[in-house]
Amino acid sequence: MPVEPKLNPLTLLAAKRRALSLPVYDLTVSNPDVAGFAWPREILAAALGGPGCERHQPDPFGNIEARTAIAAYYTQHGAAASPKHICLSASTSEAYTWWLRLLCESGDNVLVPEPAYPLISILAEISRVKIIPYRCEFKEGLWCVDPASLKPDAKTRAILAISPANPTGHTLSVADLKALRDAQKKAAPSCVLIVDEVFLDYPAAAFAAPSSVLAHKNLDPLIILSGLSKVTLTPQLKVGWSVLTGSSEWLQMILPQLEHHTDAFLSVNAPAQVALPFLLKEAPAYRAAVRARLDANEATLRAALVRLAGCELLPRQAGWSVVMRLPAGVDELSFALQALEEGACVHPGHYYDFASENCIVLSLLADPKDFGAGLDALIRALPRC
Ligand SMILES: Cc1ncc(COP(=O)(O)O)c(C=O)c1O
């Protein structure tokens, strides 16, 4: 069936302002290149043009040098991963789709977190897999999984989690992992816990760096997803990966199925695979610059709160965005539209299925000047709502 393009009132208003050459300070930006974090072209070109870029040596799981470099990345995160159990894909999104297709048959379901970046529901819809949401709630100053909302059944083939989450920054605690583990036991046999860790390298200054869920014992079977779009700030290279852990029986069953699937696509191009070890080695400096930007913009926002009466900033454990609660009675969509009339583009919380309707989401990635101008627009908008 043809899909109607979704033009929401915010997109329409932003387009109208741009057509009139009126400013739009984009506080939803998630593209590192647009935010000023592109790698220098010569460095990237040299990495992509390294030895092997000219050859087609297909390996369904990706070349071994790339997989070994990814295993080393997990060692730096306090976790052990075998290159043999790492599989490259052309983005994290593609890996999600493979897993939905490989693990689920008609009528099966997966549990997915809410609120969350609306990617998983779209991928599940494309893959014709039913999703059963479970809630993450903000309680006593932190986000946590609501164990009572996890409702696995005999058709539940996977439980998906995002840690750190987008947009809340929620990083799974030991109690959250226990709740997910308990749900896994009540689901279909060999139900897989799939954890998306694309934001693992972006802890906020006020919080300790999270370790990879891969470092936790007793989570079995487990698949970790990540990729270069956030880890090395190069979404244009289209590289993601899956790291698998589990019993030897499960691995013996799943690895050939995965290979059959990936062999049909061989979707990761040679230059990106050749560049990956170098990019992972050099990325910490680029990520540090992003973390400094995120922390600085967050501090600016916190300082502006005195002029945003009644607004509350929820703590950000990690990630590129922050959630702000609006004063009681202020509708998030009306506020977002008013903010855009004043020049700032923000996301209303319902884009991410927040339980309440008075949250907005702000990306902290924007250039500090644009971020400051955007905050001024929010300050002007609030009394008008
Ligand atoms: C939590 C999360 N996972 C995955 C992705 C997509 O990553 P990729 O570009 O590797 O498909 C995004 C995109 O922003 C994201 O926010």
| Domains of the chain, first to last | 9-38+283-384 (3.90.1150.10), 56-282 (3.40.640.10)
* Residue 43 Cα distances to 84, 186, 280, angstroms: 29, 50, 13
Buried b (16+ CB within 10 A) or exposed e, 366-384: bbeebbebbbbbbbbbbee
Q: Map residue 293 onto helix, strand or coil.
A: helix
Can you tell me the distance from the alpha carbon of 28 to that of 364, in angstroms, rounded to the nearest whole number? 8
- The answer to whether the CB of 193 falls within 8 A of the CB of 158 is yes
Name the pTM for this structure. 0.96
Residue 37's pLDDT band (cuts 50, 70, 90): very high
Say yes or no to pLDDT of 3 above 80: no
The number of the ligand 1 atom at minimal distance from the alpha carbon of 30 is: 14
The pLDDT of 68-84, averaged and rounded, is: 96
Asked whether the predicted pLDDT for residue 254 surpasses 80, the reply is yes
Place of tokens 């060692």: 75
Tens-place pLDDT, residues 148-159: 999 999 999 999
Q: Choose the residue to mutate in 198, 223, 320 for probing ligand 1, maximizing ligand atoms within 8 Å of C-beta.
A: 198
Longest dimension (CA), the chain: 62
Q: State the pLDDT confidence band at 267, using cuts at 50, 70 and 90.
A: very high
Alpha-carbon 15 to chain mean position: 26
How far is Cα 70 from Cα 64, in angstroms, rounded to an integer? 10
Report residue 131: phi and psi, to 5°.
-110, 140
Question: Cα separation of 164 and 170, whole Å?
Answer: 5
Range 315-332 average pLDDT: 96
- Surface-to-core class of residue 9, CB atoms within 10 Å of its CB (0-12 exposed, 13-18 middle, 19+ buried): exposed
At 325, give phi and psi (nearest 5°): -85, 135
Whole-number Cα distances in Å, 16 to 19, 40, 78, 193, 325: 5, 33, 49, 44, 27
Q: Ligand 1 pocket test: pick from 70, 96, 117, 290 the residue with the most ligand atoms within 8 Å of its Cβ.
A: 117
For residue 61 the two structure tokens come to 């799981």
Instruction: Answer yes or no: is pLDDT of 2 > 50.
Output: no
Structure confidence at residue 109 (pLDDT)? 97
Cα–Cα distance list, 142 to 33, 118, 176, 196 (Å):
31, 21, 12, 19
Which candidate, 331, 365, 364, places its Cα nearest to that of 349?
331
pLDDT of residue 357: 84
Amino acid, single-letter form, for residue 325 = R
Ligand 1 atom at minimum distance from 162 CA: 1
**88 CB-contact burial (10 Å; exposed 0-12 / middle 13-18 / buried 19+):** buried
Long-range contacts of 328-335 (CB under 8 A, 24+ apart): 328/358, 330/358, 330/382, 330/385, 331/357, 331/358, 331/385, 332/357, 332/358, 332/359, 332/360, 333/9, 334/385, 335/360, 335/381, 335/382, 335/385
pLDDT average, residue stretch 83-91: 98
Closest listed residue to residue 325, CA positions, set 283, 300, 354, 286:
354
Q: Over the stretch 162-205, which tens digit does the pLDDT of each residue have?
A: 999 999 999 999 999 999 999 999 999 999 999 999 999 999 99
Residues with CB under 6 A from ligand 1: 30, 91-93, 117, 119, 162, 166, 196, 198, 227, 229, 235, 240
Residue 274 backbone class (left: φ over 0; alpha: ψ -120 to 50; beta: rest)? alpha
